[in-house]
Structure 1
Amino acid sequence: MEKILKNCFDTFLTNLIPFESEKELVSFQMGAIFSCLQRSFSFLELCEAGSFARELTTIRGYSSRDLLAVCPEKIFPWSPADAIAELKNVLKGKFPGIKGIYNNKCCVKIPLGNTPFETVQIFPAIFKGYMQTTLGMKPYYSILNPEGVWTYISPKAQQDYLDAIDIPRDGMVRKMIRLLKAWKYYYLVPINSYYLELCIAKYAKSQDYMIYDIDFKAILQLLYDTNLENVKDPVGISGYIKPCNSEIQKQNILVKIEADLLRATIAVELRAMDLAECLNLWNTIFCKRFPINW
Protein backbone atom coordinates (compact mmCIF):
# COMPACT_ATOMS: atom_id res chain seq x y z
CA MET A 1 0.00 0.00 0.00
CA GLU A 2 2.82 2.37 0.82
CA LYS A 3 4.29 1.89 -2.67
CA ILE A 4 0.93 2.66 -4.29
CA LEU A 5 0.57 5.80 -2.17
CA LYS A 6 4.07 6.94 -3.13
CA ASN A 7 3.30 6.33 -6.82
CA CYS A 8 0.17 8.46 -6.53
CA PHE A 9 2.18 11.33 -5.04
CA ASP A 10 4.85 10.93 -7.73
CA THR A 11 2.18 11.11 -10.45
CA PHE A 12 0.61 14.16 -8.83
CA LEU A 13 4.01 15.91 -8.66
CA THR A 14 4.62 15.18 -12.34
CA ASN A 15 1.29 16.84 -13.12
CA LEU A 16 2.45 19.96 -11.27
CA ILE A 17 5.49 20.56 -13.49
CA PRO A 18 4.88 23.52 -15.84
CA PHE A 19 4.73 22.80 -19.56
CA GLU A 20 7.64 24.06 -21.64
CA SER A 21 5.12 26.28 -23.43
CA GLU A 22 4.53 28.15 -20.15
CA LYS A 23 8.22 29.03 -19.91
CA GLU A 24 8.52 29.87 -23.61
CA LEU A 25 5.59 32.28 -23.53
CA VAL A 26 7.42 34.66 -21.21
CA SER A 27 10.85 34.03 -22.71
CA PHE A 28 9.46 35.13 -26.08
CA GLN A 29 8.62 38.58 -24.63
CA MET A 30 11.74 39.04 -22.50
CA GLY A 31 13.79 40.45 -25.37
CA ALA A 32 11.23 43.18 -26.00
CA ILE A 33 10.99 43.97 -22.28
CA PHE A 34 14.78 44.10 -22.04
CA SER A 35 15.24 46.53 -24.94
CA CYS A 36 12.40 48.74 -23.72
CA LEU A 37 13.82 49.12 -20.23
CA GLN A 38 17.37 49.48 -21.43
CA ARG A 39 16.46 52.48 -23.58
CA SER A 40 14.35 54.14 -20.89
CA PHE A 41 16.33 53.55 -17.71
CA SER A 42 19.96 52.80 -18.61
CA PHE A 43 18.79 49.35 -17.62
CA LEU A 44 21.46 46.81 -16.63
CA GLU A 45 19.80 43.39 -16.73
CA LEU A 46 16.68 41.31 -16.19
CA CYS A 47 17.28 39.07 -13.19
CA GLU A 48 15.05 36.05 -12.58
CA ALA A 49 13.50 35.90 -9.11
CA GLY A 50 10.69 33.97 -7.43
CA SER A 51 9.88 30.29 -7.99
CA PHE A 52 11.46 30.08 -11.44
CA ALA A 53 14.77 31.34 -10.01
CA ARG A 54 14.74 28.72 -7.25
CA GLU A 55 13.94 25.98 -9.79
CA LEU A 56 11.60 23.00 -9.42
CA THR A 57 9.17 24.78 -7.07
CA THR A 58 6.83 26.14 -9.74
CA ILE A 59 3.23 24.99 -10.20
CA ARG A 60 1.71 24.34 -13.63
CA GLY A 61 -0.81 27.00 -14.55
CA TYR A 62 -0.26 29.10 -11.42
CA SER A 63 3.32 30.29 -10.94
CA SER A 64 3.90 33.72 -12.45
CA ARG A 65 7.28 34.85 -13.79
CA ASP A 66 9.04 37.34 -11.49
CA LEU A 67 11.75 39.54 -13.01
CA LEU A 68 13.96 42.14 -11.39
CA ALA A 69 14.52 45.16 -13.64
CA VAL A 70 17.97 46.00 -12.33
CA CYS A 71 19.00 49.63 -12.84
CA PRO A 72 21.71 51.94 -11.50
CA GLU A 73 20.74 53.51 -8.18
CA LYS A 74 20.61 57.00 -9.68
CA ILE A 75 17.75 55.90 -11.94
CA PHE A 76 15.34 55.48 -9.01
CA PRO A 77 15.88 58.58 -6.85
CA TRP A 78 12.13 59.14 -6.54
CA SER A 79 9.62 57.81 -4.06
CA PRO A 80 8.67 54.12 -4.43
CA ALA A 81 5.27 55.11 -5.83
CA ASP A 82 6.90 57.26 -8.50
CA ALA A 83 9.32 54.47 -9.43
CA ILE A 84 6.45 52.02 -9.97
CA ALA A 85 4.36 54.56 -11.87
CA GLU A 86 7.22 55.42 -14.22
CA LEU A 87 7.97 51.75 -14.86
CA LYS A 88 4.32 51.06 -15.67
CA ASN A 89 4.05 54.03 -18.04
CA VAL A 90 7.11 52.93 -19.99
CA LEU A 91 5.86 49.34 -20.31
CA LYS A 92 2.35 50.42 -21.34
CA GLY A 93 3.91 52.58 -24.05
CA LYS A 94 5.94 49.63 -25.31
CA PHE A 95 3.06 47.13 -25.24
CA PRO A 96 -0.06 49.12 -26.24
CA GLY A 97 -1.75 45.96 -27.50
CA ILE A 98 -1.66 44.30 -24.07
CA LYS A 99 -4.69 45.30 -22.04
CA GLY A 100 -4.70 45.34 -18.28
CA ILE A 101 -1.11 46.25 -17.43
CA TYR A 102 -1.36 47.38 -13.83
CA ASN A 103 0.72 47.82 -10.71
CA ASN A 104 0.58 47.39 -6.96
CA LYS A 105 2.99 48.87 -4.43
CA CYS A 106 5.93 46.66 -5.39
CA CYS A 107 5.75 45.69 -9.07
CA VAL A 108 4.18 46.11 -12.48
CA LYS A 109 2.15 43.17 -13.80
CA ILE A 110 1.89 42.37 -17.51
CA PRO A 111 -0.89 39.87 -18.33
CA LEU A 112 0.24 38.07 -21.49
CA GLY A 113 -2.84 35.82 -21.26
CA ASN A 114 -5.75 34.97 -19.00
CA THR A 115 -4.08 32.68 -16.46
CA PRO A 116 -1.61 33.38 -13.62
CA PHE A 117 1.32 31.67 -15.32
CA GLU A 118 0.89 34.05 -18.27
CA THR A 119 1.54 37.03 -16.01
CA VAL A 120 4.96 38.66 -15.79
CA GLN A 121 5.70 40.61 -12.62
CA ILE A 122 8.46 43.20 -13.04
CA PHE A 123 10.04 44.64 -9.92
CA PRO A 124 12.18 47.78 -10.10
CA ALA A 125 15.48 46.79 -8.49
CA ILE A 126 18.78 48.39 -7.58
CA PHE A 127 21.97 46.34 -7.57
CA LYS A 128 23.64 47.04 -4.21
CA GLY A 129 26.76 44.90 -4.54
CA TYR A 130 27.80 41.82 -2.60
CA MET A 131 26.96 40.97 1.00
CA GLN A 132 28.48 38.46 3.37
CA THR A 133 25.86 35.79 4.10
CA THR A 134 25.79 32.45 5.87
CA LEU A 135 26.65 30.97 2.46
CA GLY A 136 29.48 33.37 1.61
CA MET A 137 29.46 36.55 -0.50
CA LYS A 138 26.27 36.88 -2.56
CA PRO A 139 24.90 39.59 -4.89
CA TYR A 140 21.94 41.46 -3.46
CA TYR A 141 19.39 43.99 -4.63
CA SER A 142 16.98 46.53 -3.22
CA ILE A 143 13.36 45.99 -4.28
CA LEU A 144 9.96 47.11 -3.02
CA ASN A 145 8.07 44.86 -0.61
CA PRO A 146 4.23 44.54 -0.66
CA GLU A 147 3.99 47.61 1.58
CA GLY A 148 5.94 49.68 -0.94
CA VAL A 149 9.12 49.95 1.15
CA TRP A 150 12.60 49.31 -0.23
CA THR A 151 14.02 46.05 1.12
CA TYR A 152 16.89 43.69 0.30
CA ILE A 153 16.75 40.43 -1.63
CA SER A 154 19.24 37.94 -3.06
CA PRO A 155 17.79 35.36 -5.49
CA LYS A 156 21.20 33.67 -5.72
CA ALA A 157 21.48 33.27 -1.94
CA GLN A 158 17.91 31.95 -1.76
CA GLN A 159 18.60 29.32 -4.40
CA ASP A 160 21.91 28.26 -2.83
CA TYR A 161 20.28 27.93 0.60
CA LEU A 162 17.56 25.69 -0.82
CA ASP A 163 20.11 23.63 -2.75
CA ALA A 164 22.16 23.05 0.41
CA ILE A 165 19.16 21.42 2.10
CA ASP A 166 17.46 19.83 -0.90
CA ILE A 167 20.35 18.10 -2.69
CA PRO A 168 21.43 15.90 0.28
CA ARG A 169 17.80 14.79 0.59
CA ASP A 170 17.51 13.70 -3.05
CA GLY A 171 15.26 16.55 -4.13
CA MET A 172 12.53 15.78 -1.61
CA VAL A 173 12.54 19.31 -0.16
CA ARG A 174 11.57 20.90 -3.46
CA LYS A 175 8.95 18.17 -3.96
CA MET A 176 7.42 18.99 -0.58
CA ILE A 177 7.45 22.68 -1.51
CA ARG A 178 5.56 21.86 -4.71
CA LEU A 179 2.95 19.88 -2.75
CA LEU A 180 2.35 22.70 -0.28
CA LYS A 181 2.26 25.28 -3.07
CA ALA A 182 -0.31 23.23 -4.97
CA TRP A 183 -2.46 23.21 -1.83
CA LYS A 184 -1.95 26.98 -1.53
CA TYR A 185 -2.87 27.78 -5.13
CA TYR A 186 -5.77 25.35 -5.51
CA TYR A 187 -7.56 26.80 -2.49
CA LEU A 188 -6.32 30.41 -2.89
CA VAL A 189 -4.67 30.24 0.52
CA PRO A 190 -3.11 33.72 0.90
CA ILE A 191 0.19 32.54 2.35
CA ASN A 192 3.48 33.99 1.08
CA SER A 193 5.15 31.41 -1.20
CA TYR A 194 8.66 32.29 -0.07
CA TYR A 195 7.58 32.08 3.57
CA LEU A 196 6.21 28.61 2.85
CA GLU A 197 9.50 27.57 1.23
CA LEU A 198 11.52 28.79 4.21
CA CYS A 199 9.31 26.94 6.71
CA ILE A 200 9.58 23.71 4.72
CA ALA A 201 13.36 24.06 4.34
CA LYS A 202 13.74 24.75 8.06
CA TYR A 203 11.68 21.66 8.88
CA ALA A 204 13.64 19.53 6.40
CA LYS A 205 16.97 20.38 8.02
CA SER A 206 15.96 18.18 10.96
CA GLN A 207 14.98 15.24 8.73
CA ASP A 208 17.40 12.68 7.28
CA TYR A 209 14.78 11.54 4.76
CA MET A 210 11.21 12.48 3.96
CA ILE A 211 7.97 10.62 3.14
CA TYR A 212 5.33 12.53 1.21
CA ASP A 213 2.21 12.07 3.30
CA ILE A 214 3.85 11.90 6.72
CA ASP A 215 5.94 15.02 6.19
CA PHE A 216 3.13 16.98 4.53
CA LYS A 217 1.09 16.39 7.66
CA ALA A 218 4.08 17.29 9.87
CA ILE A 219 4.66 20.58 7.99
CA LEU A 220 1.01 21.59 8.39
CA GLN A 221 1.37 20.76 12.08
CA LEU A 222 4.47 22.95 12.32
CA LEU A 223 2.75 25.89 10.63
CA TYR A 224 -0.21 25.55 12.97
CA ASP A 225 1.81 25.09 16.15
CA THR A 226 4.00 28.14 15.44
CA ASN A 227 0.90 30.24 14.70
CA LEU A 228 2.51 31.36 11.43
CA GLU A 229 5.16 33.37 13.23
CA ASN A 230 7.50 35.52 11.13
CA VAL A 231 10.55 33.65 9.86
CA LYS A 232 14.04 35.13 9.90
CA ASP A 233 15.82 35.05 6.55
CA PRO A 234 18.35 32.23 7.10
CA VAL A 235 20.96 33.82 4.82
CA GLY A 236 20.79 37.14 6.67
CA ILE A 237 19.72 39.52 3.88
CA SER A 238 15.96 40.05 3.94
CA GLY A 239 15.28 40.36 7.68
CA TYR A 240 12.05 38.72 8.80
CA ILE A 241 9.61 37.21 6.28
CA LYS A 242 5.90 37.60 6.99
CA PRO A 243 3.43 34.79 6.24
CA CYS A 244 0.88 37.13 4.64
CA ASN A 245 -0.25 40.75 4.35
CA SER A 246 -2.75 41.11 7.21
CA GLU A 247 -3.99 39.60 10.46
CA ILE A 248 -7.29 38.69 8.82
CA GLN A 249 -5.43 36.70 6.17
CA LYS A 250 -3.39 35.01 8.88
CA GLN A 251 -6.48 33.83 10.74
CA ASN A 252 -8.05 32.55 7.51
CA ILE A 253 -4.88 30.61 6.70
CA LEU A 254 -4.86 29.02 10.16
CA VAL A 255 -8.49 27.94 9.75
CA LYS A 256 -7.63 26.24 6.45
CA ILE A 257 -4.51 24.61 7.93
CA GLU A 258 -6.49 23.26 10.89
CA ALA A 259 -9.11 21.69 8.61
CA ASP A 260 -6.59 20.00 6.30
CA LEU A 261 -4.31 19.02 9.16
CA LEU A 262 -7.19 16.93 10.52
CA ARG A 263 -7.71 15.33 7.10
CA ALA A 264 -3.99 14.65 6.68
CA THR A 265 -3.78 13.13 10.17
CA ILE A 266 -6.61 10.72 9.39
CA ALA A 267 -5.12 9.92 5.97
CA VAL A 268 -1.77 9.01 7.55
CA GLU A 269 -3.53 6.77 10.06
CA LEU A 270 -5.38 4.99 7.22
CA ARG A 271 -2.38 4.56 4.89
CA ALA A 272 -1.91 0.89 5.89
CA MET A 273 -5.55 0.02 6.62
CA ASP A 274 -7.85 1.66 4.07
CA LEU A 275 -5.96 2.93 1.05
CA ALA A 276 -9.08 3.95 -0.87
CA GLU A 277 -10.27 6.27 1.89
CA CYS A 278 -6.72 7.49 2.44
CA LEU A 279 -6.50 8.54 -1.23
CA ASN A 280 -9.93 10.16 -1.07
CA LEU A 281 -8.74 12.34 1.80
CA TRP A 282 -5.65 13.41 -0.12
CA ASN A 283 -7.88 14.12 -3.09
CA THR A 284 -9.92 16.47 -0.90
CA ILE A 285 -6.79 18.13 0.47
CA PHE A 286 -5.62 18.80 -3.09
CA CYS A 287 -8.97 20.11 -4.38
CA LYS A 288 -10.01 16.94 -6.26
CA ARG A 289 -6.84 16.88 -8.39
CA PHE A 290 -4.97 14.05 -6.67
CA PRO A 291 -4.82 10.72 -8.56
CA ILE A 292 -6.95 8.10 -6.82
CA ASN A 293 -7.16 5.40 -9.50
CA TRP A 294 -4.63 2.68 -8.76
Structure 2
Amino acid sequence: MAKDVNDAFGILIDRLKPSEVETISAASHRASIDACLKEKFKMTSLFRSGSFGHGTSVKGYSDVDYFAVIPAANLWTSSNYSLIKVKEALQARFPLTSIAIRSPVVIVPFGGGAGGEHHEISPAYANGTNNGHTVYAIPNRTDGWMSSSPNAHNAWVNVINDKHSKKVKQLIRLLKYWNYVQSAGIRSFYLELRTAEYANYETAILYNIDVKRMFAVLINKGLAAMQDPQGVSGYVYPCSDAVKESALSKLRTALTRAEKAYEAENAGKYSEAFQWWDMVFGGKFPAYY
Protein backbone atom coordinates (compact mmCIF):
# COMPACT_ATOMS: atom_id res chain seq x y z
CA MET A 1 0.00 0.00 0.00
CA ALA A 2 1.12 3.58 -0.68
CA LYS A 3 0.74 6.85 1.19
CA ASP A 4 0.61 9.07 -1.92
CA VAL A 5 0.76 8.87 -5.71
CA ASN A 6 4.51 9.43 -5.88
CA ASP A 7 5.06 6.64 -3.36
CA ALA A 8 2.77 4.37 -5.39
CA PHE A 9 4.75 4.90 -8.57
CA GLY A 10 7.94 4.01 -6.69
CA ILE A 11 6.37 0.80 -5.40
CA LEU A 12 5.08 -0.10 -8.87
CA ILE A 13 8.49 0.47 -10.47
CA ASP A 14 10.12 -1.83 -7.91
CA ARG A 15 7.55 -4.51 -8.72
CA LEU A 16 8.31 -4.27 -12.43
CA LYS A 17 12.04 -4.93 -12.15
CA PRO A 18 13.13 -8.51 -12.96
CA SER A 19 13.83 -10.64 -9.91
CA GLU A 20 17.16 -12.31 -9.20
CA VAL A 21 15.51 -15.69 -9.85
CA GLU A 22 14.45 -14.54 -13.33
CA THR A 23 17.95 -13.25 -14.04
CA ILE A 24 19.61 -16.51 -12.96
CA SER A 25 17.12 -18.58 -14.97
CA ALA A 26 17.68 -16.48 -18.10
CA ALA A 27 21.46 -16.85 -17.71
CA SER A 28 21.13 -20.64 -17.51
CA HIS A 29 19.08 -20.81 -20.72
CA ARG A 30 21.48 -18.40 -22.40
CA ALA A 31 24.38 -20.79 -21.76
CA SER A 32 22.58 -23.63 -23.55
CA ILE A 33 21.69 -21.43 -26.54
CA ASP A 34 25.25 -20.10 -26.66
CA ALA A 35 26.78 -23.58 -26.80
CA CYS A 36 24.41 -24.69 -29.56
CA LEU A 37 25.00 -21.73 -31.86
CA LYS A 38 28.75 -21.75 -31.34
CA GLU A 39 28.86 -25.38 -32.40
CA LYS A 40 26.57 -25.02 -35.43
CA PHE A 41 27.47 -21.57 -36.77
CA LYS A 42 30.80 -20.61 -35.15
CA MET A 43 28.95 -17.80 -33.39
CA THR A 44 31.36 -15.25 -31.92
CA SER A 45 29.09 -13.63 -29.32
CA LEU A 46 25.59 -13.73 -27.88
CA PHE A 47 24.53 -10.52 -26.17
CA ARG A 48 21.33 -9.14 -24.76
CA SER A 49 19.53 -6.53 -26.78
CA GLY A 50 16.02 -5.15 -26.32
CA SER A 51 14.46 -4.38 -22.94
CA PHE A 52 16.62 -6.73 -20.86
CA GLY A 53 19.79 -5.44 -22.47
CA HIS A 54 18.74 -1.82 -22.01
CA GLY A 55 17.47 -2.08 -18.43
CA THR A 56 13.84 -1.34 -19.31
CA SER A 57 12.34 -4.83 -19.11
CA VAL A 58 9.08 -5.53 -17.30
CA LYS A 59 8.91 -8.45 -14.89
CA GLY A 60 6.75 -11.26 -16.21
CA TYR A 61 6.18 -9.64 -19.61
CA SER A 62 9.36 -8.73 -21.46
CA ASP A 63 11.03 -11.31 -23.68
CA VAL A 64 14.76 -11.93 -23.35
CA ASP A 65 16.22 -10.68 -26.63
CA TYR A 66 19.63 -11.62 -27.98
CA PHE A 67 21.79 -10.85 -30.97
CA ALA A 68 23.60 -14.01 -32.06
CA VAL A 69 26.65 -12.63 -33.86
CA ILE A 70 27.67 -15.07 -36.59
CA PRO A 71 30.28 -14.64 -39.34
CA ALA A 72 28.52 -13.46 -42.51
CA ALA A 73 30.04 -16.41 -44.38
CA ASN A 74 28.07 -18.78 -42.12
CA LEU A 75 24.72 -17.13 -42.90
CA TRP A 76 22.75 -16.89 -46.15
CA THR A 77 21.73 -14.08 -48.47
CA SER A 78 18.14 -14.98 -47.61
CA SER A 79 17.50 -13.88 -44.04
CA ASN A 80 14.42 -16.10 -43.94
CA TYR A 81 16.54 -19.14 -44.72
CA SER A 82 19.08 -18.06 -42.11
CA LEU A 83 16.28 -17.95 -39.54
CA ILE A 84 15.11 -21.40 -40.61
CA LYS A 85 18.60 -22.85 -40.14
CA VAL A 86 18.98 -21.24 -36.71
CA LYS A 87 15.56 -22.60 -35.73
CA GLU A 88 16.54 -26.09 -36.90
CA ALA A 89 19.73 -26.01 -34.84
CA LEU A 90 17.93 -24.84 -31.71
CA GLN A 91 15.07 -27.31 -32.23
CA ALA A 92 17.59 -30.14 -32.32
CA ARG A 93 19.10 -28.86 -29.08
CA PHE A 94 15.68 -28.39 -27.39
CA PRO A 95 13.46 -31.09 -28.99
CA LEU A 96 10.60 -30.70 -26.49
CA THR A 97 10.35 -26.93 -26.96
CA SER A 98 7.95 -25.40 -29.49
CA ILE A 99 10.40 -23.11 -31.27
CA ALA A 100 9.01 -20.68 -33.83
CA ILE A 101 10.13 -17.97 -36.25
CA ARG A 102 8.79 -14.43 -36.14
CA SER A 103 11.19 -12.36 -38.22
CA PRO A 104 13.59 -10.90 -37.20
CA VAL A 105 13.87 -13.52 -34.45
CA VAL A 106 13.67 -17.18 -33.57
CA ILE A 107 11.50 -17.59 -30.46
CA VAL A 108 12.56 -20.17 -27.89
CA PRO A 109 9.95 -20.45 -25.10
CA PHE A 110 11.11 -22.07 -21.87
CA GLY A 111 8.40 -23.12 -19.44
CA GLY A 112 4.81 -22.03 -19.69
CA GLY A 113 2.33 -19.67 -18.14
CA ALA A 114 3.33 -16.65 -16.08
CA GLY A 115 6.63 -18.22 -15.04
CA GLY A 116 7.79 -18.98 -18.55
CA GLU A 117 10.47 -17.19 -20.50
CA HIS A 118 10.57 -16.34 -24.18
CA HIS A 119 14.08 -16.01 -25.55
CA GLU A 120 14.18 -14.25 -28.91
CA ILE A 121 17.30 -14.86 -30.95
CA SER A 122 18.17 -12.63 -33.89
CA PRO A 123 20.99 -13.87 -36.13
CA ALA A 124 23.31 -10.96 -36.89
CA TYR A 125 26.60 -10.17 -38.55
CA ALA A 126 28.85 -7.15 -38.04
CA ASN A 127 28.37 -4.55 -40.78
CA GLY A 128 30.16 -1.31 -39.86
CA THR A 129 30.12 1.16 -36.96
CA ASN A 130 28.17 4.16 -35.69
CA ASN A 131 29.90 6.57 -33.29
CA GLY A 132 32.21 3.76 -32.23
CA HIS A 133 29.40 1.21 -31.79
CA THR A 134 29.16 -1.86 -33.99
CA VAL A 135 26.31 -1.89 -36.50
CA TYR A 136 24.82 -5.30 -37.24
CA ALA A 137 22.76 -6.66 -40.10
CA ILE A 138 19.69 -8.56 -38.87
CA PRO A 139 16.64 -10.01 -40.69
CA ASN A 140 14.26 -7.33 -41.99
CA ARG A 141 10.98 -9.29 -42.25
CA THR A 142 11.10 -9.27 -46.09
CA ASP A 143 13.88 -11.85 -46.61
CA GLY A 144 16.65 -9.23 -46.63
CA TRP A 145 18.81 -7.67 -43.95
CA MET A 146 18.55 -4.35 -42.10
CA SER A 147 20.92 -2.37 -39.90
CA SER A 148 20.67 -2.27 -36.11
CA SER A 149 22.96 -1.17 -33.29
CA PRO A 150 21.59 -1.89 -29.80
CA ASN A 151 24.67 -0.41 -28.13
CA ALA A 152 24.37 2.86 -30.07
CA HIS A 153 20.71 3.21 -29.09
CA ASN A 154 21.38 2.29 -25.47
CA ALA A 155 24.23 4.80 -25.25
CA TRP A 156 21.88 7.54 -26.49
CA VAL A 157 19.18 6.59 -23.99
CA ASN A 158 21.78 6.38 -21.19
CA VAL A 159 22.84 9.99 -21.72
CA ILE A 160 19.23 11.17 -21.36
CA ASN A 161 18.61 8.79 -18.45
CA ASP A 162 21.67 10.09 -16.57
CA LYS A 163 20.53 13.69 -17.14
CA HIS A 164 17.32 12.85 -15.26
CA SER A 165 18.81 10.89 -12.32
CA LYS A 166 18.04 7.49 -13.91
CA LYS A 167 14.30 8.21 -14.09
CA VAL A 168 13.91 8.00 -17.87
CA LYS A 169 14.33 4.23 -18.02
CA GLN A 170 11.79 3.89 -15.23
CA LEU A 171 9.37 6.07 -17.20
CA ILE A 172 9.96 3.80 -20.20
CA ARG A 173 9.29 0.78 -18.00
CA LEU A 174 5.97 2.27 -16.86
CA LEU A 175 4.88 2.94 -20.45
CA LYS A 176 5.82 -0.59 -21.46
CA TYR A 177 3.88 -2.00 -18.52
CA TRP A 178 0.77 -0.05 -19.50
CA ASN A 179 1.22 -1.36 -23.05
CA TYR A 180 1.36 -4.96 -21.80
CA VAL A 181 -1.53 -4.87 -19.30
CA GLN A 182 -3.81 -3.05 -21.76
CA SER A 183 -2.73 -5.23 -24.72
CA ALA A 184 -2.17 -2.10 -26.80
CA GLY A 185 0.22 -3.81 -29.19
CA ILE A 186 2.79 -1.00 -29.49
CA ARG A 187 6.34 -2.20 -30.14
CA SER A 188 8.64 -1.95 -27.16
CA PHE A 189 11.52 -0.38 -29.11
CA TYR A 190 9.25 2.37 -30.41
CA LEU A 191 8.06 3.22 -26.89
CA GLU A 192 11.65 3.35 -25.70
CA LEU A 193 12.79 5.74 -28.43
CA ARG A 194 9.71 7.99 -28.26
CA THR A 195 9.97 8.29 -24.48
CA ALA A 196 13.69 9.09 -24.58
CA GLU A 197 13.05 11.63 -27.36
CA TYR A 198 10.42 13.32 -25.19
CA ALA A 199 12.53 13.25 -22.02
CA ASN A 200 15.51 14.79 -23.81
CA TYR A 201 13.70 18.14 -23.88
CA GLU A 202 12.31 18.03 -20.33
CA THR A 203 13.90 19.64 -17.29
CA ALA A 204 12.65 17.02 -14.81
CA ILE A 205 10.77 13.73 -14.74
CA LEU A 206 7.74 13.33 -12.46
CA TYR A 207 5.91 10.08 -13.12
CA ASN A 208 2.38 11.34 -12.36
CA ILE A 209 2.92 14.12 -14.91
CA ASP A 210 5.13 12.48 -17.50
CA VAL A 211 3.21 9.22 -17.90
CA LYS A 212 0.19 11.39 -18.70
CA ARG A 213 2.19 13.57 -21.08
CA MET A 214 3.60 10.54 -22.88
CA PHE A 215 0.09 9.32 -23.63
CA ALA A 216 -0.58 12.75 -25.16
CA VAL A 217 2.68 12.70 -27.12
CA LEU A 218 1.91 9.31 -28.65
CA ILE A 219 -1.62 10.44 -29.57
CA ASN A 220 -0.42 13.75 -31.04
CA LYS A 221 2.18 11.91 -33.10
CA GLY A 222 -0.60 9.64 -34.35
CA LEU A 223 1.69 6.68 -33.65
CA ALA A 224 3.63 7.74 -36.75
CA ALA A 225 6.84 6.00 -37.65
CA MET A 226 9.86 7.86 -36.31
CA GLN A 227 13.31 8.24 -37.75
CA ASP A 228 15.95 6.41 -35.78
CA PRO A 229 17.68 9.19 -33.75
CA GLN A 230 21.00 7.42 -34.24
CA GLY A 231 20.58 7.12 -37.99
CA VAL A 232 21.11 3.36 -37.96
CA SER A 233 17.76 1.64 -38.50
CA GLY A 234 15.93 4.09 -40.77
CA TYR A 235 12.29 4.40 -39.72
CA VAL A 236 11.07 2.71 -36.54
CA TYR A 237 7.44 1.61 -36.77
CA PRO A 238 5.07 1.60 -33.77
CA CYS A 239 2.93 -1.43 -34.52
CA SER A 240 1.20 -3.32 -37.28
CA ASP A 241 -1.43 -1.46 -39.30
CA ALA A 242 -4.01 -3.94 -38.02
CA VAL A 243 -3.74 -2.75 -34.40
CA LYS A 244 -2.94 0.95 -34.88
CA GLU A 245 -6.46 2.35 -34.47
CA SER A 246 -7.08 0.12 -31.45
CA ALA A 247 -3.77 1.26 -29.90
CA LEU A 248 -4.69 4.92 -30.42
CA SER A 249 -8.11 4.32 -28.85
CA LYS A 250 -6.47 2.75 -25.80
CA LEU A 251 -4.05 5.67 -25.57
CA ARG A 252 -6.95 8.14 -25.62
CA THR A 253 -8.68 6.21 -22.84
CA ALA A 254 -5.45 6.12 -20.82
CA LEU A 255 -4.91 9.86 -21.27
CA THR A 256 -8.44 10.67 -20.06
CA ARG A 257 -7.96 8.51 -16.97
CA ALA A 258 -4.48 9.94 -16.26
CA GLU A 259 -5.88 13.47 -16.53
CA LYS A 260 -8.68 12.56 -14.10
CA ALA A 261 -6.09 11.11 -11.72
CA TYR A 262 -3.98 14.25 -11.88
CA GLU A 263 -6.99 16.53 -11.30
CA ALA A 264 -8.11 14.44 -8.34
CA GLU A 265 -4.63 14.48 -6.80
CA ASN A 266 -4.39 18.27 -7.15
CA ALA A 267 -7.80 18.60 -5.49
CA GLY A 268 -6.62 16.51 -2.54
CA LYS A 269 -8.89 13.61 -3.51
CA TYR A 270 -6.16 11.02 -3.16
CA SER A 271 -8.34 7.92 -3.01
CA GLU A 272 -10.01 8.98 -6.26
CA ALA A 273 -6.62 9.65 -7.87
CA PHE A 274 -5.51 6.12 -6.99
CA GLN A 275 -8.68 4.70 -8.50
CA TRP A 276 -8.04 6.45 -11.82
CA TRP A 277 -4.38 5.33 -11.93
CA ASP A 278 -5.53 1.81 -11.10
CA MET A 279 -7.73 1.89 -14.21
CA VAL A 280 -4.81 3.17 -16.29
CA PHE A 281 -2.69 0.22 -15.19
CA GLY A 282 -5.33 -2.47 -15.50
CA GLY A 283 -6.02 -2.91 -11.79
CA LYS A 284 -2.32 -3.28 -10.92
CA PHE A 285 -1.59 0.10 -9.31
CA PRO A 286 -0.61 -0.05 -5.60
CA ALA A 287 -3.44 0.54 -3.15
CA TYR A 288 -3.88 3.76 -1.17
CA TYR A 289 -3.93 3.87 2.61
Query: Is residue 263 of structure 2 the alignment partner of residue 269 of structure 1?
Result: yes
The Cα shift of 1:47 comes to: 1.9
Runs of 4+ displaced beyond 6 Å: none
**2:102 matched to 1:108?**
no
Aligned to 1:287: 282
Query: What does residue 182 of structure 1 align with?
Result: 177
Matched with 2:39 is 39
Question: Residues 77 and 146 (structure 1 numbering): CA distance in 2 closer, same or farther, change over 3 Å?
Answer: closer
Q: Provide the rounded CA distance (Å) in 1 between the counterparts of 2:51 and 2:244.
A: 22
Q: Any conservation in 2 of the 1:43–1:70 contact (CA below 8 Å)?
A: yes
C-alpha contact 2:77 2:144 (8 A) present in aligned 1: no
Note the alpha carbon deviations across 1:63-111, whole angstroms, 9 max, x for none.
1111111111111124122111111111111112x32111122211111
1:250 aligns with 2:249: no
Matching residue of 1:204: 199
Partner of 2:221: 226
Instruction: Note if contact 2:80-2:139 (Cα within 8 Å) is conserved in structure 1.
Output: no
Question: 1:102, 1:109 within 8 Å by CA — same for their partners in 2?
Answer: yes
Change (3 A) 1:115 1:121: farther
Q: Secondary structure at the match of 2:132?
A: strand
Partner of 1:118: 117
SS at match of 1:271: helix
Q: Deviations over 1:171-227 (max 9, x none)?
A: 111111011011011111110111001111111111110111111111100110110
Alignment of 1:5-20 (within 5 A): 5-20=5-20
Unaligned runs of 5+ in 1: none
Unaligned runs of 5+ in 2: none
Tell me if structure 2 keeps the 8 A contact 1:16–1:60. yes
Aligned to 2:211: 216
Tell me, in whole angstroms, the C-alpha distance in 2 between the residues paired with 1:148 and 1:285: 39
Q: 1:146–1:78: structure 2 CA closer, same or farther, 3 Å change rule?
A: closer
Q: CA RMSD for the aligned pairs?
A: 1.6
In 1, the alpha carbon distance for the partners of 2:3 and 2:199 equals 22
Task: Report the TM-score when normalising by structure 1.
Answer: 0.93
The letter of the residue matching 2:111 is G
SS at match of 2:68: strand
Q: Does the CA-based 8 Å contact 1:41-1:71 persist in structure 2?
A: yes
Whether contact under 8 Å (1:61, 1:115) holds in the other structure is: no
Q: Deviations over 1:136-172 (max 9, x none)?
A: 2211101113455411111111110011101010111
Matched, 1:63 2:62: yes
1:82 match: 81
Aligned residues: 286
Contact in 2 for aligned 1:18/1:59 (Cα 8 Å): yes
Aligned equivalents of 1:191, 1:54: Cα separation in 2? 18
Q: Identify which range, 78-87 or 5-14, moves more after superposition.
A: 78-87
Give the counterpart letter for 2:108 in structure 1: I
Q: Structure 1 CA distance, aligned partners of 2:262 and 2:144?
A: 43
Q: Secondary structure at the match of 1:152?
A: strand
Instruction: Decide whether the 8 Å contact of 1:62 with 1:115 is kept in 2.
Output: no
